[in-house]
Structure 1
Amino acid sequence: MGAHETSLFKRHARPSGAEKLIAVVTDAVSAEVINNVVVDEGIATSHVTLGSLDDAVGVMTALKESPHYLIIDVSGSAMPISDLMRLADVVDPSVTVVAIGERNDVGLFRNLLQLGIRDYLVKPLTVELVRRALAANDASTSPRMGKALSFVGTRGGVGVTTIATALASHLADKTRRRIAYIDLDPYGGAAASMFGVSATSGLIELLQNPHRLDQQLINQAFIAQSDRLFVLASELPYNQDFSVRAGALSELISMLKRHFHYIVMDLPHRGGMLIDEAFEASAMIHVVADLSVHSTREAARLCQFAEARDANPAISVLVNESRQPVPGRVNSKDFISALARGSVHSLPYEPQTLALTENLGESLASPQRSPFAAAIVALANSITGNEEAAAPSARTPWYRRLAPARRAS
């Protein structure tokens, strides 16, 4: 077995991070078969080890670079669908996943396909069975796709970038999702400086490239803020015109969905083709507003515009208390009434924490110490489907102040 012998019979062994194939199985016989396939197919880098689904989650969480193939054993799982859903949270959409097990169950097989598992093999494994499963799968056609999230403000200064960058950092650092952040202000949005990276011409090159997009071009355009968070931002000279061919952003997002769990789009507050295409590609649209008359009107208009999408995205309004509360602002009840919708959430006023984050590059304080951080955690949980409550804070978190659902008569 050569280079694979050490990890084959040692539980909790960790891969180096550059493997083309990773397999976590429950028995040595299956591991030996997979190792034989590795040798026969000339797969140069692989990691085959004994372990459970929990071990597989740990292995994939720790990786900096995803494998092409993941073979996972569900034999020891009482609830394989639930366990594989946990695994899917830490496996990039581009990874081809093959499950193996002991149950010859058509219903289980169909449920696994719906999760994006490319094949299900019943034990005992054979070299030919595994070889055909790997050979028949093309990662570029995987049904496992990431989700695009749009953040748009009703006007400048309402905190779109503050919220979106905090969310992206949390998803990348705390939940280990692979995140693509796109600042769609071509003349220099705030995202690059808030992430502590330098804007490049990457965004412009991708949107104006008339040729077919490929992964190499995308990799060159993005700036790695961490091993899980990648930023796309540009700074055009103010006197340079900017035009984009129709469909360019849609094509870019479609490709990114194959390689990232979430694509966070920071949109300029003016309309146009880019906003239209971003909304069409989004699974969720977040409209960021403040408690002013103008912002209230624009929030209603943006929600109506978003609701016209064929993809029927989830739409929520984030009321960001970016300024010190004073008399004369729109009452929150009047704001909710004007929008006639229940998905209105409040983020608290917390200037000192956000100033340190924006200007000094410090991470948000823990949810226990920062109501704003607690709100970001709760927002992330609502996006990922994590039902765990955010950590308690001194103030009531925004998710406990959800307005009751209201419909326009």
Structure 2
Amino acid sequence: MASASAVKLDQRETYAAFICDELSSQILHPVITERGWDPDMIFSGGVAGAVRALGGMPCPEFLIVDLSDSEDPRADMQSLADVCEPGTVVLALGTLNDVTLYRDLLHAGVHDYLVKPLTAEVLHSAVVAAENAIFVEEEVEEQGPKTDARQIVCVGVRGGIGASTLVANMAWLFADQGKKTALLDLDLFFGTSAMQFDLEPGRGLSDALDNPRRVDGLFLERAVVKPHEKLSILGCEAPIGGMSDPADGALEQLVDALGENFDCVVVDVPRQLMGSHVDVLKSATDIIVVTDFSLTSARDCIRLLAHIKQIAPSADVYVAANKVGMVPNEVDEKDFENSIEHAVDVKVPFDVKAMMAATQKGVVICEEAPRSKISDAYLTLLRTVTSDDTIGDSKKSWFGKLLGK
């Protein structure tokens, strides 16, 4: 095997391999030459050698890195990520046959992980798959991102404020207007989006977060649950502590992938993710902050709105006061708006009768009680977000016809 330090590159190569042992290099050699690639780009040194070499040469489109000599594979892969260009496809090799390590590497953006001893057939298949991934990524970059999908992020300023109920109703309303809609519930352990439609969420979300690049129309057909012809829910009820936090950038990739397959993506974001996973905000076209008129919520609204302005300055931001009338307001509405320096765009009244009726039937409030004041408030919020006052008035809409009675 060649030494990486002996080679200087003036332009980005198709691939480079950093292998720890001679046998693996010999197995890789014919696979590489078959594709017309330069066998001199197979180097010794494993992942540590890759990190050193990439500090002094352009990063290839495709990297094969060996973790066999690594004492801390996760840390070494993070060091590799720091010197890689965005979009680089990485195939990892190693001797450790560990499911947790495999999942962590995929979370970190590794395309695949092969356990030694290698065979020519397995290695060939993995290289072909990686080459296809490079082709797909280049094709997506040429086409550019989809810009017409509405991506709405909803976050409650505190737990129990009713943000998940608002999200489920918003998603149902979009679907009822004929929009192909995805509801993404990012509460990995306690999500209720599917439950509000009397459905089991499956493990679609955990599978999607394992490798968001693989999320496509075919994957979604298997991963989502559908309470409505136009509404698909992606969520999970992972065992408590049984699922790692999403890797950096994974949520943004996932929301963008959903945006390529749906007209509208509504994301239910637990507030604890707002600090550690700001990437989900970067994908948003619209952000809804759900609050009440309490002193604590006023404080947290101020902090959340400042955070959103910094992370997603181009998103349109709305404030929805929920469960209005359930308890007396701690803060006067005008004082509340002055303190958060933002108008309350809609006030959703507390309606225990409508809520209980919907819960007992396993449907959302807008389906069970479309003429209720709470449903009317949800519709007002939808019209505000979309800037379309005609929503709900179409004769083709069952919801609209009921409101017109």
TM-score range for the pair, normalised by the shorter chain length: 0.5 to 0.7
Alpha-carbon distance in structure 2 between the residues aligned to 1:193 and 1:210: 24
Superposed CA deviations along residues 90-142 of structure 1, whole A, max 9, x for unmatched, are: xxxxxxxxxxxxxxxxxxxxxxxxxxxxxxxxxxxxxxxxxxxxxxxxx9768
Alpha-carbon distance in structure 2 between the residues aligned to 1:228 and 1:257: 14
Equivalent residues of 1:336, 1:344 under 8 A apart: no
Equivalent residues of 1:186, 1:233 under 8 A apart: yes
**Residue from 215, 218, 224 that aligns with 2:217:** 215
Q: What is the Cα-based RMSD across aligned positions, in Å?
A: 2.6
Alpha-carbon distance in structure 1 between the residues aligned to 2:352 and 2:330: 18
Partner of 2:31: none
**Residue from 353, 368, 371 that aligns with 1:369:** 371
Partner of 1:149: 152
Report deviation, 1:349: 1.8
Task: Answer with 197-206 or 242-251: which moved more.
Answer: 242-251
Matched, 1:357 2:358: yes
Between Structure 1 and Structure 2, how many residues are aligned?
A: 252
Superposed CA deviations along residues 26-52 of structure 1, whole A, max 9, x for unmatched, are: xxxxxxxxxxxxxxxxxxxxxxxxxxx
Superposed CA deviations along residues 131-186 of structure 1, whole A, max 9, x for unmatched, are: xxxxxxxx97685531110110011111101111111111111x110100011000
Q: 1:140 to 1:358 in 2, by over 3 A?
A: farther
Partner of 2:191: 189
- Listed as ranges, the gaps of 5+ residues in structure 2 are 1-141, 394-405
Report deviation, 1:189: 1.0
Partner of 1:159: 162
Report deviation, 1:266: 0.5
Q: 1:335 to 1:283 in 2, by over 3 A?
A: same
Partner of 1:87: none
Report deviation, 1:310: 4.6
SS in 1 for 2:155: strand
Report deviation, 1:383: 2.6
Report deviation, 1:360: 2.4
Alpha-carbon distance in structure 1 between the residues aligned to 2:327 and 2:207: 42
Q: Which runs of 4+ in 1 moved over 4 A?
A: 139-144, 272-275, 365-368
Using the size of structure 1 for normalisation, the TM-score is 0.57
SS in 2 for 1:321: strand
Partner of 2:230: 228
Alpha-carbon distance in structure 1 between the residues aligned to 2:146 and 2:274: 30
Alpha-carbon distance in structure 2 between the residues aligned to 1:225 and 1:389: 21
- Listed as ranges, the gaps of 5+ residues in structure 1 are 1-138, 392-409
Report deviation, 1:382: 2.0
Partner of 1:103: none
**Residue from 153, 166, 171 that aligns with 1:168:** 171
Partner of 1:279: 281
Report deviation, 1:355: 1.9
Larger radius of gyration: 2
SS in 2 for 1:315: strand
AA of the residue aligned to 1:162: T
Report deviation, 1:385: 2.9
AA of the residue aligned to 2:211: N
* Percent sequence identity over aligned pairs: 24
AA of the residue aligned to 1:180: A
Partner of 2:261: 259
Equivalent residues of 2:151, 2:284 under 8 A apart: yes
Q: 1:347 to 1:272 in 2, by over 3 A?
A: closer
Alignment of 1:285-364 (within 5 A): 285-310=287-312, 312-321=314-323, 324-326=326-328, 329-364=330-365
Report deviation, 1:347: 1.1
Alpha-carbon distance in structure 2 between the residues aligned to 1:245 and 1:142: 21
